Amino acid sequence: MVELAVISCVDERENDRPGGEISHAGDTKPAEGELLEEEQVKGGLSVTMQTANHSSDPKRADKITRYKPPAQGTPGAPGEDPTTDYMNVLGMIFSMCGLMMRLKWCAWVALYCSCISFANARVNDDTKQMLSSFMLSISAVVMSYLQNPQPMTPPWSNI
């Protein structure tokens, strides 16, 4: 890991130097009138510079800051969507209900809940938890039908 410390206080006259024959590998040609402060490439990246920047180019390849995704719980974290977790828990509760009390509709609702949780999940979410909730709801449905192969009776029928 190479850390480059670039110190350059360049005034306007040095802008005319063609090609930037500077021995540090971390300088760029500053825009007219701008002073570069002491720079440090964060994270230990070694970045190769382009030396032919004309003065109106806003790119500063030596000032790259790597993306630090905000830690969980800090404000402003992108995508704080609690739907996934709620649906996970709800799905587990419903499937337990369906298994214990042999209610078919509970098991079906549990299956739907885990599907919704899957659809709303973030990419870096734990897939194991979602998968286990899925499996639990499927097993609840299957067990309900093995115990009692009667079809579900809708609540609006008086049979």
Partner 1 sequence: MPKTQEEPKITIANVPLHLRSNWDSFYLEMLMIAGLVVYFINFIVGKSKNQKLANAWFTSHKNLLEQNFALVGDDGKQVPESGGLQKESENVYTLWCSGRTNMEGMLVELKFIKRQDMIGVVSQLIRPSSDQLLVKVHLDEMDSFVFALATKKTAARLSKEMTDISTFCPEKKSADKFGFGSQYVLMNELGEVASTVLGDPKVTAVLNKFSGMVDFLHFSDQYSGPKQPEDTQPTKLPEVRRALVFGFNFPGRGNPSLEAIESMRPLLQLVFHVTDKLRRFKLSKEGKAKAEKNRSRVEEAFLKATHAARAEMAQAKREERKRMEREKMLEIDDPDKQRKWEEREQRRQMKRRAPKMKQLKTS
Q: Is 142 in the site for partner 1 (CB under 8 A)?
A: no
HSE at residue 120, side-chain half, CA atoms within 13 A, is: 16
Separation CA 95–CA 134 (nearest Å):
10
Binding range to partner 1, per CB under 8 A, among 15-23, 93-101, 111-119, 126-134: 111-119
Q: Which of 66, 71, 82, 101 touches partner 1 (CB under 8 A)? A: 66
- Output the smallest distance, CB 53 to partner 1, in A: 10
Stretch 26-65 residues interacting with partner 1 (CB under 8 A) = 31, 34, 45, 58-65
CB distance 62 to 49 below 8 Å: yes
Tokens of 83: 């739907």
Q: Which is nearer to partner 1, 17 or 59 (CB)?
A: 59
Nearest alpha-carbon partner for 34 in 52, 73, 60: 60
Separation CA 27–CA 9 (nearest Å):
11
Residues 119-138, one symbol each (x = binds partner 1 by CB under 8 A, - = not), give xxxxxx--------------
CB distance 70 to 112 below 8 Å: no
| Site residues, partner 1 (CB under 8 A) | 31, 34, 45, 58-67, 69, 74-76, 78-79, 81, 108, 111-112, 115-116, 119-124, 145, 148-154
